[in-house]
Amino acid sequence: MSEKIYGRKPVLEAIRSGSRAMTRLYLMQGSRDGVLNQIEAHAKAKGIPIHLETRHRMDTLAATEKHQGVIAVVEGFQYADLEDLLDIARKKNEPAFVLLLDEIEDPQNLGAILRSAEAAGVHGVVIPKHRAAEVNATVIKASAGAAEHVATVKITNLNETIKRLKEANVWVVGTDDEAPKNFYDYDYRQPVALVIGNEGQGLRRLVKENCDELVKIPMAGQMSSLNASVAAGLVLFEVTRQRKWGLGPATKEPPVSSYGLGLSPEKDFFRPAPGSGPPASGEAVESGEGLAQRIDISPSDNLDDNPPDPPGNNKGGGFKW
């Protein structure tokens, strides 16, 4: 069964990926730019029939005014199988990297997640068949065409899929705002499947219980959670950070930050280290290179004629360390 997709990037990526046949291409009369010229050139090279239409006709065909002057008729989106995702990892000689979505309902969120997933290098995305958005023209446009490059599996039972992944020696890590471990403290260099929950309810109880590990994104503000697509992007790129740069989990020691932030312990993402307050006059200040004596300057000191010269190297920015 065929369907229509629209928008410059989605149509261009559909032609470039070649993942599904394109039978017709509609271009709006008088509308041309670099991307549209690329689309037309690709279509001509592949022998795809091109039709020039008025704006009114394009609006009618797309059932929206947001078609950006191009509509393509393509065969229905082809969903992959779970084994296909594991095969992709094997062929790339990489530990499996899979994203599971637990009832993501908003097509815009699904599109944004697919875009982040493709950019982060996931081997595939799994979505439920029921009570969740599916890959359609809206999702493809929201993904800027990235959906055409991501192997996506539609399944009936997410918990059964988690079981199958575990049997394939893939560790399943879910996101939950009450988890004891921060997302950057987990080692993702092993085969891993990330689970992102529903926009409003998060992970369902049974899905949460079936995960091998739960991690959270620590919050520094008043909000208790992030948009699902933003949360997915953060965790996805932590996997990429660890794998592509050969780095392990971040240190569990909180970073030393500016004096006097006063953040509460439960919001520890930018919490200052214990005892990090403004040092008293003459008190030793600990730095990465040892202890340096704090230098006090009285108002009578002439800074222009006799500037202080604390020990250490000048690291730039007007500070001596």
Q: Which of 244, 264, 291 is the last residue of a domain?
A: 244
Q: Which of 244, 266, 284 is the last residue of a domain?
A: 244
Question: Has residue 318 been placed in a domain?
Answer: no
| pTM for this prediction | 0.74
Residues 134 and 27 in one domain: no
Residues 66 and 97 in one domain: no
Question: Has residue 315 been placed in a domain?
Answer: no
Per-residue pLDDT at 247: 79
Question: Has residue 305 been placed in a domain?
Answer: no
Residues 103 and 49 in one domain: no
Residues 178 and 35 in one domain: no
Per-residue pLDDT at 260: 35
Residues 160 and 202 in one domain: yes
Question: Has residue 30 been placed in a domain?
Answer: yes
Per-residue pLDDT at 102: 97
Residues 111 and 198 in one domain: yes
Residues 124 and 228 in one domain: yes
Crossing angle of helices 107-120 and 228-244, in 10° steps, is 10
Residue 225's domain is classified under what CATH number? 3.40.1280.10
Question: Has residue 96 been placed in a domain?
Answer: yes
Residues 104 and 239 in one domain: yes
Q: Which of 60, 75, 90 is the last residue of a domain?
A: 75
Helix/strand/coil (H/E/C) assignment for every residue in 262-298: CCCCCCCCCCCCCCCCCCCCCCEEEECCEEEECCCCC
Residues 26 and 110 in one domain: no
Contacts 24+ apart (CB under 8 A), 250-258: 250/182, 250/184, 250/185, 252/185
Whose tokens are 């020039």? That residue is 52
Query: Which residue stretches of the chain have pLDDT < 50?
Result: 253-308, 310-321
Question: Has residue 317 been placed in a domain?
Answer: no
Residues 121 and 50 in one domain: no
What's the domain count of the chain?
2
Residues 71 and 117 in one domain: no
Question: Has residue 289 been placed in a domain?
Answer: no
Residue 13's domain is classified under what CATH number? 3.30.1330.30
The whole-angstrom separation of Cα 237 and Cα 173 is 14
Per-residue pLDDT at 285: 42
Question: Has residue 321 been placed in a domain?
Answer: no
Residues 134 and 185 in one domain: yes
Write out the residue range of the structural domain in which residue 29 sits. Answer: 2-75
